[in-house]
Structure 1
Amino acid sequence: MTDRFADKLLTWYDQHGRHDLPWHHDRNAYRVWVSEIMLQQTQVTTVIPYFEAFMARFPTVHDLANAPVDDVLSHWSGLGYYARARNLHKAAQQVVEEFDGEFPKDQEQLESLTGIGRSTAAAIIAQAFGKRATILDGNVKRVLARYHAVPGWTGQTAVLNRLWEHAEEHTPDERVRDYTQAIMDLGATVCTRTRPDCETCPVSGGCRAYALGETTLYPGSKPKKAKPEKTTWMVILEDSDGRILLERRPPSGIWGGLWSLPELDPAYGPEELSEACEQRLGMSCGDPELVSGFRHTFSHYHLHIQPARLPVTGSTKVADTAQQRWLHRDEALALGLPAPIRSLLTEPEQAALL
């Protein structure tokens, strides 16, 4: 049975869809997979330069699997949600070790790879192999929630199950590669989160939310919860050779596995920072110079960062280890750094507050 939704969507895609994205060229499972992971919670325009640089450095799954994780993270720096990069690296190693470097074409086997869920596995099957598979990423959820007027937040199991049913119902047997791109494009360019362009939408004639004049009600919003506020000192410790001390963050959690600046308890006052550095790191430091603080927002809390520069005036007990390194700025910038830390190390000197 012909599905009018898919039929109209494909006709629209032929004229208005995106046909020339970088991962459409030399299309294979590896390139599709990397693009899908990068596109999670990130817009296409942001992803394109990262994808091209990533492919230049890691052109095959073997190149990615064999690369140091620091190299992978450095090419991810600025994209955020760094667990994606760590999972990407681990999954590449799984593909090489468990599947002889060939991505499986089976949904269940793809989902066995680290960081690949149901929708991402389906996208790889449809986009790379041209086989019928049903996707349900953020854009698709929004399109289908409006088209069928499905109430509720898409993070709720019952709502998600209904959307999966609708997604399966509309996925065609033919041109599935074009269809999956088309429905993602529709959500990204027409059925947008705010101010959807319903007048140009190819499926608005059957859209229940549009007929009701209530497109803004679908999908339902996530229940709001106030984000907690946290504060930390970040110290830029510079020795007599002009090197800065960096510390690797734990493998899980915020900025997991990335290199960052040492942190000190916010309970310390500015005049206590030198003593705190000696207690925690075993080094003598001069007076601190505070620079403009800023707030960085994570998915579940706000972090107020107060940076301070301290010259190291004596010998230090801190030697290079797997978790700590003394590096010149250009060396530091070659590592995987969180975007705020990269900015602190690259922006011009800011006016001191002390």
Structure 2
Amino acid sequence: MSKRRSRPSQSEDEWNSGNEAALSSNSDADDWKPLSKTSRRSAKTRQITKKRKTEVETREAAQTVAGTPDSVHSKSRHSIQTPEPLRSALLGWFTTVRDARGMPWRKPFDFSQGPEERSQRAYEVWVSEIMLQQTQVVTVIPYYTRWMVTFPTLKDLARANIDQVNALWKGLGYYSRASRLLEGAKKAVKDYGGRLPDNAKEMQENIPGIGRYSAGAICSIAYAERVAVLDGNVHRLLSRLLALHAPPKAKSTLNILWNAAEVMVRKDGTDEMHHPGDINQALIELGSTVCKVREPSCGACPLQPWCLAYKLARGDGFQSLPDIEDTCSICEPISPGFDVTVFPMKSDRKKAREELDVVNVIEWRRDTRSQQRLFFLVRRPETGLLAGLYDFAASENIPKNLPEKLVKSTSLGFLEKLFGHPAWKLVSVTSKTGSNCETRNTWVAEPTIVGDVSHIFSHVKKTYRVVWVLMTGGDKPPEPSGATVPDKPSCRADSELREETQSPDSPLKWTWTPLNQVVDATMGTGAMKVWSLARGFLEEEQTSL
């Protein structure tokens, strides 16, 4: 019997890579012959060469589709490798513009301050940062000044109520910011003895209304903690600096930008005395005033020498093809002929849903010629949209194409539910005051459609269909059904302005407000638009009588 031929010792990988071709052409195992080392090495080299060629062709095809020679680039491009020269240039520029816009909350950091003084600075920075959200500096300055006169310390704010806070905030918009300040102040007094926490992590976790950006701004500026900030201005600035063209709200994008912002304030041993608050304020200021959304002033930018968006827009700064392992996978293609404003990538905004509300401007008079004219306002609940503000009574989110007749009947039906009787008839209403009962007649005239007002929230576009409803009769205006008068009206001291509430478990609070005081009520911007339209109509109506 012949001896069995032994096979060479090879691993499975070596066997597959070195002998795949031989096995595919020889079905009979007895005819197998091992490849030499040189043959195996040549076969492996050919496979690697073919793989690299395929990778290059794939990337070149991607560049051709994208239309720019830089469409395929290294992911390491989106990081700051040496922050020292950028910091120096940035801070040198900031010293020349720190006081240019006259912001009262912007002060040089004082290393000699103790905990109490730093806590006060934290409060000042907090108020300014909340006010600056979606609001321009020039608008904020007078509001900030009045706020600090009224509530000079965090404890003073914590003693206030929502009416006082909203009254001071009136006209600034986004009233939820004011309620968050009040809620946060009460929390700080209760849990921290009237001081804000001195580190961003604890502040973000325990103070209502303070997120990662606000905590970073407050703690870096007031407490010199080395924490980063990333608001809209810094997001845009760093996206251009790093030529990052990726979905702006994606987690991967935000991680890159937060990391770059952290590198800028990180302690590296070469510039320990650089105040992190100055670095963060400089980034914010540069993004706001120089690296603007449209028409950025690249010639005045201290970071221009390192700005990749600037270089790429000028046809410079293109990288050679990176290794496949280092290729950026999050940037989207850019069309040829771009400029720096292509960064950051524009996000697709969701279209705001559209809603129609029938807003009832309800007026009461003793008779049609009476000079005493009162208007019905309701106060919104303490939580939710427009918390604690006064508004006109409305039927919300009704069909958009509602005919005029049905709009009027909607108003009358609303009044019937509100006052507890058919609002379109002459009625006798009996109310009890102490031991006495009184009966009065109230007549509701035909509702009049005044016009439409548009108001856009971040998530919804409202059309307010304004309806004027005149109620006459009786010695005093009607009360909503089942309402009781609270012991201490909290709206104002004026004897003509009475706030009343339904039942203890109901969120409805209401007031009849004199004509000349409606404009002073703490209302949101949308309600003020409604009143402006209604007031113009009423003046014309009065002239025609």
Note if contact 2:455-2:461 (Cα within 8 Å) is conserved in structure 1.
Answer: yes
C-alpha separation between the residues in 1 aligned to 2:392 and 2:526?
10
Q: Which digits, 9 at most, give the CA deviation of each residue in 1:31-79, with x for residues without a partner?
A: 1100011111222112112211222221111121111112112222222
Counterpart among 154, 165, 175 of residue 61 in structure 1: 154
C-alpha separation between the residues in 2 aligned to 1:210 and 1:295?
40
C-alpha separation between the residues in 1 aligned to 2:520 and 2:164?
8
Question: Which residue is equivalent to 1:29?
Answer: 122
Note if contact 1:6-1:172 (Cα within 8 Å) is conserved in structure 2.
Answer: no
> What is the one-letter code of the residue matched to 2:358?
W
- Alpha-carbon offset, residue 206 of structure 1: 0.8
> What is the one-letter code of the residue matched to 2:380?
R
- Alpha-carbon offset, residue 292 of structure 1: 3.4
Deviates more, 1:264-273 or 1:204-213: 264-273
Is 1:326 the counterpart of 2:512 in the alignment?
A: yes
> What is the one-letter code of the residue matched to 1:14?
T
Question: Which residue is equivalent to 1:219?
Answer: 344
Question: Which residue is equivalent to 1:50?
Answer: 143
Deviates more, 1:134-143 or 1:1-10: 1-10
Which secondary structure state, in structure 1, belongs to the residue aligned with residue 465 of structure 2? strand
- Alpha-carbon offset, residue 291 of structure 1: 2.5
Aligned residues, how many?
354
Question: Which residue is equivalent to 2:132?
Answer: 39
> What is the one-letter code of the residue matched to 1:256?
A
Mapping for residues 83-94 of structure 1, pairs under 5 Å: 83-94=176-187
- Alpha-carbon offset, residue 296 of structure 1: 0.6
Note if contact 1:18-1:185 (Cα within 8 Å) is conserved in structure 2.
Answer: no
Counterpart among 434, 454, 470 of residue 311 in structure 1: 470
C-alpha separation between the residues in 2 aligned to 1:326 and 1:351?
20
Question: Which residue is equivalent to 1:180?
Answer: 280
Q: Which digits, 9 at most, give the CA deviation of each residue in 1:142-165, with x for residues without a partner?
A: 100110012223321111111000
- Alpha-carbon offset, residue 342 of structure 1: 2.6
C-alpha separation between the residues in 1 aligned to 2:249 and 2:169?
27
Note if contact 1:329-1:345 (Cα within 8 Å) is conserved in structure 2.
Answer: no
TM-score (norm 2): 0.61
Question: Which residue is equivalent to 1:77?
Answer: 170
Question: Which residue is equivalent to 1:6?
Answer: 87
Deviates more, 1:264-273 or 1:149-158: 264-273
Counterpart among 98, 101, 111 of residue 194 in structure 2: 101
Q: Which digits, 9 at most, give the CA deviation of each residue in 1:293-328, with x for residues without a partner?
A: 221111112101121221122562315116222222
C-alpha separation between the residues in 1 aligned to 2:353 and 2:534?
31
Which secondary structure state, in structure 2, belongs to the residue aligned with residue 23 of structure 1? coil
> What is the one-letter code of the residue matched to 1:228?
R
Question: Which residue is equivalent to 2:250?
Answer: 156
C-alpha separation between the residues in 2 aligned to 1:330 and 1:131?
51
Which runs of structure 1 show a deviation greater than 6 angstroms over 4 or more consecutive aligned residues? none
Question: Which residue is equivalent to 2:289?
Answer: 189
Q: For residues 16 and 325 of structure 1, do their structure 2 counterparts lie closer, same or farther at Cα, with a shift above 3 Å needed?
A: same
Deviates more, 1:270-279 or 1:80-89: 270-279
Is 1:236 the counterpart of 2:361 in the alignment?
A: yes
Question: Which residue is equivalent to 2:221?
Answer: 127
Deviates more, 1:13-22 or 1:255-264: 13-22
Is 1:349 the counterpart of 2:535 in the alignment?
A: yes
Note if contact 2:450-2:534 (Cα within 8 Å) is conserved in structure 1.
Answer: no
C-alpha separation between the residues in 1 aligned to 2:194 and 2:97?
36
Deviates more, 1:328-337 or 1:169-178: 328-337
- Alpha-carbon offset, residue 195 of structure 1: 1.3
C-alpha separation between the residues in 2 aligned to 1:32 and 1:190?
22
- Alpha-carbon offset, residue 348 of structure 1: 8.1
- Alpha-carbon offset, residue 172 of structure 1: 5.2
C-alpha separation between the residues in 1 aligned to 2:260 and 2:411?
61
Question: Which residue is equivalent to 1:250?
Answer: 381
- Alpha-carbon offset, residue 277 of structure 1: 3.7
Mapping for residues 240-319 of structure 1, pairs under 5 Å: 240=365, 241-264=372-395, 266=398, 267=402, 269-272=406-409, 275-282=412-419, 284=423, 285-314=444-473, 316-318=478-480, 319=483
Note if contact 1:233-1:263 (Cα within 8 Å) is conserved in structure 2.
Answer: yes
Deviates more, 1:76-85 or 1:185-194: 76-85
> What is the one-letter code of the residue matched to 1:147?
L
Q: For residues 345 and 47 of structure 1, do their structure 2 counterparts lie closer, same or farther at Cα, with a shift above 3 Å needed?
A: same
Structure with max Cα Rg: 2
Note if contact 2:264-2:279 (Cα within 8 Å) is conserved in structure 1.
Answer: no
Which secondary structure state, in structure 2, belongs to the residue aligned with residue 246 of structure 1? strand
C-alpha separation between the residues in 2 aligned to 1:99 and 1:330?
44
Note if contact 2:291-2:297 (Cα within 8 Å) is conserved in structure 1.
Answer: yes
Which secondary structure state, in structure 2, belongs to the residue aligned with residue 81 of structure 1? coil
> What is the one-letter code of the residue matched to 2:93?
W
C-alpha separation between the residues in 2 aligned to 1:347 and 1:312?
19
Is 1:117 the counterpart of 2:211 in the alignment?
A: yes
Note if contact 1:264-1:276 (Cα within 8 Å) is conserved in structure 2.
Answer: no
Q: For residues 203 and 225 of structure 1, do their structure 2 counterparts lie closer, same or farther at Cα, with a shift above 3 Å needed?
A: same
> What is the one-letter code of the residue matched to 1:236?
V
Which secondary structure state, in structure 1, belongs to the residue aligned with residue 468 of structure 2? strand
C-alpha separation between the residues in 1 aligned to 2:227 and 2:214?
10
Q: Which digits, 9 at most, give the CA deviation of each residue in 1:189-236, with x for residues without a partner?
A: 000111111111111111111111131221122223222211111111
Q: Which digits, 9 at most, give the CA deviation of each residue in 1:239-271, with x for residues without a partner?
A: 224221111223444323321110025446344
Deviates more, 1:87-96 or 1:45-54: 45-54
C-alpha separation between the residues in 2 aligned to 1:157 and 1:96?
35
Deviates more, 1:94-103 or 1:210-219: 210-219
- Alpha-carbon offset, residue 273 of structure 1: 5.0
> What is the one-letter code of the residue matched to 2:479?
K
Q: Which digits, 9 at most, give the CA deviation of each residue in 1:173-203, with x for residues without a partner?
A: 4122221211111011000111111111111
> What is the one-letter code of the residue matched to 1:133?
V
Q: Which has the higher contact order (CA 8 A, sep 6+)?
A: 1
